[in-house]
């Protein structure tokens, strides 16, 4: 199938597919005229890549996880699980930072409300 067909089938843009190729996540064969051609295997791979992106993984991390898919083994599976654990820890730390940031913003909002109430009370006297 050609790139437009794969994009439609997988629910992604043609631009995304080109990016996946640039990052080494996806491969295609080329026709004599240079058009990309894909198989059903690549369609499944795009679905897998999309799931990894949806889980918050970068293209570099996805590249590190692909050996588990391409060459399944206990060693590759263990390495993938370890790498996903590292990413989960990174996300957990980021979530904690976001909670602190939200709490700081809540404090600023509360201070603003208090200031407005105090200003309005003084103006009414």
- 3 alpha-carbon distance from chain centroid: 22
- 2 alpha-carbon distance from chain centroid: 25
Query: Can you give the residue ranges of every domain in the chain?
Result: 1-74, 77-124
**The pLDDT of residue 124:** 63
| 115-120: average pLDDT | 88
| 7-30: average pLDDT | 94
Residue 10 and residue 20 in contact, taking contact as beta carbons nearer than 8 Å: no
**The pLDDT of residue 1:** 93
The overall average pLDDT reported for the chain is 93
**Domain at 1-74: CATH code:** 1.10.1660.10
- 85 alpha-carbon distance from chain centroid: 15
91's CB contacts (< 8 A; 6+ apart) are: 56
Beta bridge partners of 30: 36
Residue 72's pLDDT band (boundaries 50, 70, 90)? very high
Cα gap 105→42, rounded to integer Å: 45
**The pLDDT of residue 123:** 64
Cα gap 46→21, rounded to integer Å: 11
Cα gap 101→68, rounded to integer Å: 36
Strands 36-37 and 29-30: antiparallel
**The pLDDT of residue 119:** 83
């Amino acid at each position: 199938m050609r790139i437009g067909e794969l994009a439609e089938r997988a629910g992604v843009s043609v631009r995304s597919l080109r990016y996946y190729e640039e990052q080494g996540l996806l491969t295609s064969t080329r026709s004599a005229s240079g058009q990309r051609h894909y198989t059903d295997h690549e369609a499944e791979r795009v679905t897998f890549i999309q799931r990894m992106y949806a889980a918050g993984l970068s293209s570099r991390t996805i590249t590190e996880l692909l050996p588990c898919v391409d060459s399944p083994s206990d060693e590759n599976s263990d390495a993938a699980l370890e790498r996903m654990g590292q990413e989960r820890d990174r996300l957990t730390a980021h979530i904690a930072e976001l909670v602190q940031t939200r709490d700081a913003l809540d404090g600023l909002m509360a201070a603003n409300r208090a200031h407005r109430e105090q200003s309005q009370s003084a103006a009414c006297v």
